[in-house]
A and B are shown apart, each in its own frame.
Chain A
C-alpha cells in the first residue's frame, strides 16, 4: 500500500521532474488556468478510474446475476404465483429483456442519477441518501480518532522510547488482532449494559439532538477506530524515528531551533507524508468495517443496508450501494493523493 500509492506518486514525480513539458490540459487551457497542473491531472486520473471502475463492477454484477437461477420476480412473488402472473411481473421489471439491454437500461438511468427502485418498493437513491450520513459520520469519526490518537501515541513513543514504545507496539499488535465487531460487543457489555454510560444500540440524527447523536456514536466509533489507531500509531512511530534520526533535524537543532519547533514543524510535517498514506488505506478499510459495526450497534447506515440487501437478493439496491461506496472510495483516494502531493513538494509540479 505504501507501494500502491508509490506507483501513482512515482509517475507524478516523474512528471514533476520534467517541468518543461506542459500537460495536454495545460496546452488546451493555457497558463491562465488558476488551478495547478498536478491538481487537475490527479483529479482527472482519479475520475477516469472511477468511471471505468463503476462500469466494470456494475457490468460484472449484471452478468453474475444472469448466470444464477431464479430472479427478482420469483423472489418477490414467491413460488405460489401463477406462470402468467410471473411473466407479467417479469415483463414489468424488464427482466425478460436480454442481459445487455437490462444493463443498458439501468446504466442510462443511473447516469441521470436514477438508480431505480428496490425490489421491495422504495427508491434506491433515496434510501441510500437517507442512510449514508450514519456511515459517513462513523467513518469520519473513526478517521479523526485514528489520526489524533494514532499520531500522538506514535510520536510520543518515538520521542520517549523504552516502556511507552513497547506499549504502543503491543497495542498495535492487539489492535490488529481483535476484530472490530468483537470489540464492539465488548464495549456494549461494558459501557452500555454494565455502566450505562452510552446507549447500546441505535442512532439519533444530529439535527434531532446533538448530544444524543454524539453519545450514540461514541461506542461504534471507538470499536471501529481501534485498528486504525493501531495502524496509524505504528506507522507514525516508525516515520518519526526516521525523521528524528535525519540530518535535517540534526542541523535544525545545531542551529538553535527549539525542541518544540523541531518536533511540531520539522518532524511532524515530514512524518505526515507517510501518515496520510496509511490514513487513506485505513479510510477505505473503515468504510468496509462499517458494514459489520452497523450491524453490531443496530445503526441504520448504508453498511447494514448493504447486508440486508445482500441477504434479500435486492439487486437494484446492491448495485446502488456499490455505486455509492465506490464513489466514496474514489473520493477518499483523491483526497489522500491531493494531500500527499500538497504535503510533499517533491512530487508537485510547479
Chain B
C-alpha cells in the first residue's frame, strides 16, 4: 500500500493548497472547524486515544511484560471477563490493545514531530526567500522521492535493531521534503501579498513576519498534511510492528497484535479484528479530520455552482428536453431553417427554479445572417445551448418549441440530436484555445470531426482536415495540422474552431461571441472569414455579439435580447435607423461605433437584472427613460409593429415619431 510513500495521498490536497490557504485565516478556521460535527468527533476521538495512550500503561503496568496469561482460557471470544477475548497465550486482548496504544502512537508522534520540525521551516524559508535555497530544497525533495523509504528504514533497523525511534525518524526524514514542497507552494502566494510587503517596509524582522503573518495563513494546509502524514506514519509503525522489527516481545503494539492474530488465523480468526479495526478507525478519523479542515479552509471560496454543473454526460440532455411541449406552433416554421417559439428555460437549484429565458421566439432563414445582441447575462448563449440540446447543469427547457429544417428538436433523443450537432448546426465559441482538447493535434481533432460526420477512411479524413484548414486561410495547412492547441494564437485557434464547426457542413453556424477574446487586429480577420464562408456555402449564421459594428457589417437581421427576453427584432438597416425599443436605443447610443469624437460615450445606467430578480412588467423599466406606470403593471408582449419588425415596448409609437436620441435615457445614478 502506501507504506513507503509518505506523501502519497497528499496529491489531492496539493493543488488547492496554493490558493485556498490565501483565503484561510487561522482564528476563523478554528471556529469554522468547531461548527463541523465531523471535525469535533474526530478531534474527540484523537483526544480519547491520547488519553488511553497515557493512562493505560499506568493503570495496567503488568501487561507490557506479561509473557503469557492463563493458558487454560486462551483463544476465547469476547466474554464479560475479557471484553475482547483472549489471545493464543491467554492474555486479555482488550488490555493489550489499550496498553499497545502508547507505543503505536509514540511512533506516529515521533515521525510527525520530525516531519513538521524539518518540513515546515524549510518550506516556509524556501517559499519566502526563494532563490538558491528554494532550488536546493527542491533538489532535496527530488532526491527523497527517489528513495525506497521502507528499505532505507530497514537499513537503519539493521544497524539499530528494535529501535523504533530511529526507524520513525528515518521515515520522517524521507517524508519531510514532501511537506516542504507543499508548504513552499502554499507560502508563495501569501508572500506576494501587499501586507507582507508593508510589514517588510515597516522594519519587522523576516523571521517575525514568517512566524506571525505567513504561518497562520497556511495553517490549514499544514493541518491537512499533518493528518495525512500521521495516517501514513501509523501504517508504517504498524507495518514494522507486524514484522516484529520495532517492538520487542512481549510488549503489545497494534501491529504486533495483528501479527499474533495472523499466526493463529486458522484457530482463532477473531484475533486480527480488534487491532485491525483500531488501526483502520484511527486512519479513517485522521483522513476525515483532514477533509474537514480542507473543507473549512475552502469554505466560501469554492464556487457553489460547481456541484450543480457537474451532471451526467448523457442523461442531462434527455432531461433538458422533457419540457418541450409540442402544442404551440405556427406557420412560420415551414419557411424558416430554425424557428424557436415561446421558449422558456429555467435552472433548478434545490426546490426553486430560476428562469433564464422567457418566451423566446425567433427564426432564421436559410443562408441568412442574424445577429443576436445584448449585454452579458441576457441569455444569448443559453439560446444557443438550448438549440443544441446542451444546456449545462440543471438547465431545463420548460416550454416552447425548437424546430430545425422541419424537424422538432424536442422530439429527438440524444443519438438523433448528435446527428444535428455539427452536421446541421455548428458551434464556434468565444474561447477558442480552451475549446480544443489540449492533448490532440489540430489535424487529429479536425479529422475526428470529419469522420464523425462522414463515412470516410482515416487518410481521406486527414486530407479533408487539411483542406478545411486551407479554407480557413492557413497559409501552411499541413504544418498547422501538426500543431497542438497550445501552440496556436487566439486567432489561429478560432480559425481551427471554425474549421471544426464546418467539418459537418452545417446549414447553420452559431458563432457565440467569436471575437471577444481576440486582439482587435485579428477580430476583423475572423469576421471576414465568417462572412466569406457564410456567403460561399450559403450557410445561415447566428452571430451572438454585443458589438453593433459587427452586426452592421455582417448581419441581415438583428435580434436584441434583454433579461431573458427578446425585446426587438428587425432588419439591421431599419433597426440602426430607428430602434423601436428603448433598450436597443440605449445600446446603440452606448456603442462606440456611433459616437462622434466630440460627445461623451453614453452609458446605460444600472445593470442587467440577474435571473430570478427580474422586475414585474417590462424587464427594462427600471433603467428606461420612457417608463410609465403601465410599464410596471403587467408583462409586455412582443408586438409586430411593421412588416418583419417586432418590439416589446408599448411606447414604440412615441419612439417612431421622434428622432433617435431626442428622448434620452435617464442618466440618474451617473
- Which positions in A face B, CB cutoff 8 Å? 1-4, 7-8, 49-50, 52-53, 56-57, 61, 64-65, 67-68, 159-161, 173-174, 176-182, 185-186, 188-189, 193, 224, 226-228, 231, 234-235, 238, 241, 244-259, 261-263, 265-266, 269-270, 273, 277-278, 281-282, 284-289, 291-292, 295-296, 306-307, 309-315, 318-319, 321-322, 325-326, 328-330, 333, 343-346
Contacts and interface: CB of A to CB of B under 8 A. Distances in A.
Contacts of A251: 427, 429, 435-436, 497, 500
A181 B4 contact: no
Nearest to A180: B1
A167 to B, nearest CB: 16
Contacts of A245: 306, 309-310
A329 B148 contact: yes
A147 to B, nearest CB: 15
A4 B137 CA distance: 11
Contact of A288 (B143, B149, B448): B149
A330 to B, nearest CB: 6
27 contacts: A1-B10, A3-B14, A3-B15, A159-B313, A180-B3, A181-B239, A185-B261, A235-B11, A250-B392, A251-B427, A251-B429, A255-B426, A255-B427, A255-B503, A259-B313, A277-B11, A282-B8, A284-B4, A288-B149, A291-B3, A291-B243, A306-B151, A310-B155, A318-B154, A322-B151, A329-B148, A333-B145
A254 B421 contact: yes
Interface residues of B, number: 100
Contact of A314 (B158, B258, B484): B158
B32 interface: no
B449 A255 contact: yes
Scoring A249, A258, A310 by chain B CB atoms within 10 A of each residue's CB, the highest score goes to A310
Contact of B279 (A3, A182, A325): A182
Interface string B284-321: 10011000000000000000001001111110000000
A3 B15 CA distance: 8
Nearest to B258: A182
Contacts of B565: none
Contacts of A182: 258, 272, 276, 279-280
B148 A287 contact: yes
A284 B11 contact: no
A146 B603 CA distance: 59
B152 A322 contact: yes
Contact of A176 (B9, B185, B436): B9
B4 A50 contact: no
A1 B427 contact: no
A313 B421 contact: no
B452 to A, nearest CB: 5
Interface in B155-171: 155-161
Contacts of A53: 143, 146-147
Interface in B482-510: 484, 486, 497, 500-501, 503-504
B102 interface: no
Contacts of B138: 7
B3 A285 contact: yes
B418 interface: yes
Nearest to B485: A248
A309 B158 contact: yes
B39 interface: no
A214 B406 CA distance: 61
Given A288-B150, A291-B243, 16 more contacts: A1-B11, A3-B10, A4-B178, A176-B1, A176-B231, A177-B281, A185-B258, A185-B261, A224-B1, A256-B421, A282-B8, A285-B8, A292-B243, A318-B154, A321-B151, A322-B152
Contact of A2 (B15, B310, B436): B15
A325 B10 CA distance: 23
